[in-house]
Structure 1
Amino acid sequence: MTAPPQVLVVETDGSHATQLGGPGEGPGEFAGVESVVPLPGDSLAVWDPERRRISVFDATGPLLREVDLREVAPLSWIASPNVTATSARTELWATGRTGFWLFSVGVMGPGEGAFRPGAPSYRVAGDGSVLAELAFQAGDEAFSSEQFGAIPNPLGAISQGAVVGQSLAVSSGSEPELQVFGPEGGLIRLIRWSEAELDLEPGALPVWESFLEEHLATLPEEEAGFRREALATIPAREELPAVGQVVAASGGELWVGPYVPGQHVLVRAFMGEVPIPATRWLVFGVDGELAATVRIPGGFTVYAVDSDRVWGVYRDDLDVESVRAYAFSGA
């Protein structure tokens, strides 16, 4: 069962503080929630990708204003799951007191063979007016065949992004690099590293294969067979993509995590969350140079990094989720 879209504000000790909005079509209500963005002055911006709307709340609960982005935001992959037009997943980040970057990644759409549906990203002002446009970037990898049509590639590259100040850092996932685009949308920096520096744990691929078999075993025989045949049409990869996640720390550092199989949003939506093994991340300083490597425990998805802690969601063996913070340790 899917939980209704809502935002809960909690204290650092886990106690509940307040609820922002809830499911519905009215002001301050959501069809879905993708991003919750802290803003100056104890306010929060909530991005609803299905309504393509930003709702700004006071942290104590009242709705302050809403920003309609239907003119620029692509269709949500949830609201438009067909392949006749490109649909996307979108994330929102703040760029100062009122502005935002809306980062869009194509998820599904028309294509032939192996393809990555593109979608543009935008830097917008607090009233929704466009300040800069980032041209179509490569989306999440899919594969289209005459027999099965377009399907997500569970071992395909996925694009990721993060905002530092007013700049947007983007990884296409296929190369060991980050492209950093400035406030006007132009490329201002390229951060590269060797593939050996960000290598996936050896057990990650067997974990995915085991997860896939367990999932198929839960399906009716005919449906399981159909999915096996569809997945078999996707050409085998010689190597996995280079990047799986990018997170901007509060101090401006960029954290880059390795690719983990099965993270395509459509794979996760239809098959569930793939177990995440322990991973080794690279941390790049504000100068773009490699500053540190960090080992992240298995089952933990990183969402935010502050001056001395890594915040995220931990999923245990029973699929129970909890918010956790790990303090930095080691040299």
Structure 2
Amino acid sequence: MNAGTMELRVCDALRTHLTTWGGRGEGPGEFRNLVRVEIFPGDSIVAWEWPAKRMSVFDSQGNFVRTIPLARSLHDRYDLGPATVLRDGTILASQDPISVDPVVVELWDGDGELRNSLGTHPGSERHLMQSFTRMNFPKTFGRTLELGSWGELVVIGGTDRYEMKAFSTSGRLARIVRLDLERRTPTTAHLGAYVDDYVSRIASDSQTELFMQLLESVPVAEYLPAFSSIMSDAINHLWVEEYEAPGEERPGIIWTVFDPGGRVLGFVETPEQLEIYEIGRDYILGRAVSEELGVESVQVWPLERR
């Protein structure tokens, strides 16, 4: 997916570019703000943009097949939009977890109509900055809401606790994954490292001073996050990205892997700069950006299971 040109670029297993689908525009199979592409039943793929007013389905040859109108999405950050697609074609939809609290989560069918509700869940913790033109800023070390697919299930969890709830497509709570970990209180060193990392990415000196003042006025969560993100692989294992506290960085990213029943299998370390898109049976597919030149590349890493 190329979000700059609004195109879907097709490559073979050796990463050779074969063809390009889609493009910038408002016609069928075109996009104005392409944000995601997923596998869809029937050897198809589905792609959508934000704000989400429709989803576009392409067949395996790149032919535009149909549009899925999203009647339940009113194209506003407070309304629902697709988050991901399950293997049976069920669409997982939610309000924007960054902007809304609590967050409504729903399951839609392949035509964009309501299938089941998964209720409401606490969204990301934010702080309204009255002195900064009412800027809505994330609470330091605050909770975020993570959600995604896990085989035929939907998994939802807030990062303030190491607990993820898995729901079936009928809306029933199927299982809970939970680890009893010691909750850690943020230290002065954690906060200092967090602020240093944040302002190091700001180019302007004047902006640096402004954001230093802003960060100093933002409330700090009572505890560090319990985890960072969740995703699943091709054989229904749940991968939970372990939280890395500022100032305690490791060379790579550590994932705890759970089997389909929710039991811990072990740990996997992935490269720090690799943004993972897909975990197959024996590979990990992702995108990396070189620190020296800032060049993006799609990478495939081998995955050995034991």
Shorter-chain TM band: 0.7 to 0.9
CA distance in 2, matches of 1:42, 1:291: 31
Aligned residue runs from structure 1 range 222-233, under 5 A: 223-233=207-217
* Unpaired runs of at least 5, structure 1: 77-85, 110-116, 198-202, 263-274
Aligned residue runs from structure 1 range 179-198, under 5 A: 179-195=165-181
Q: Could you tell me which residue of structure 2 aligns to residue 313 of structure 1?
A: 287
Secondary structure of the corresponding residue to residue 313 of structure 1: strand
Measured after TM superposition, the shift of residue 69 of structure 1 is 1.1
Secondary structure of the corresponding residue to residue 227 of structure 2: coil
- Between the aligned residues of both structures, percent identity stands at 23
Q: Could you tell me which residue of structure 2 aligns to residue 295 of structure 1?
A: 269
Amino acid at match of 2:47: V
Secondary structure of the corresponding residue to residue 239 of structure 1: coil
| 1:326 aligns with one of 281, 301, 305 | 301
Question: Does residue 144 of structure 2 align to residue 158 of structure 1?
Answer: yes
Secondary structure of the corresponding residue to residue 244 of structure 1: strand
Aligned residue runs from structure 1 range 171-320, under 5 A: 171-195=157-181, 208-216=194-202, 218-221=203-206, 223-259=207-243, 278-318=252-292, 319-320=294-295
Amino acid at match of 1:108: S
* Unpaired runs of at least 5, structure 2: 184-188
CA distance in 2, matches of 1:204, 1:279: 18
Measured after TM superposition, the shift of residue 177 of structure 1 is 1.4
Amino acid at match of 2:98: V
Q: Could you tell me which residue of structure 1 aligns to residue 104 of structure 2?
A: 120
CA distance in 1, matches of 2:74, 2:86: 16
Does the 8 Å contact 1:120/1:135 carry over to 2? Answer: yes
Q: Could you tell me which residue of structure 1 aligns to residue 49 of structure 2?
A: 48
TM-score under structure 2 normalisation?
A: 0.85
Q: Could you tell me which residue of structure 1 aligns to residue 35 of structure 2?
A: 34
Measured after TM superposition, the shift of residue 104 of structure 1 is 4.0
CA distance in 1, matches of 2:52, 2:81: 13
Q: Deviations over 1:163-211 (max 9, x none)?
A: 13432011211111111011122322110113369xxxxx998775443
Amino acid at match of 1:99: T
Q: 1:239 to 1:294 in 2, by over 3 A?
A: same
Does the 8 Å contact 2:80/2:93 carry over to 1? Answer: no
Could you tell which deviates more after superposition, 248-257 or 135-144?
A: 135-144
Amino acid at match of 1:28: G
Q: Could you tell me which residue of structure 1 aligns to residue 59 of structure 2?
A: 58
CA distance in 1, matches of 2:122, 2:166: 15
C-alpha root-mean-square deviation of aligned residues, in Å? Answer: 2.9
Secondary structure of the corresponding residue to residue 151 of structure 1: strand
Aligned residues: 295
CA distance in 1, matches of 2:150, 2:305: 26
TM-score under structure 1 normalisation?
A: 0.79
Amino acid at match of 1:4: T
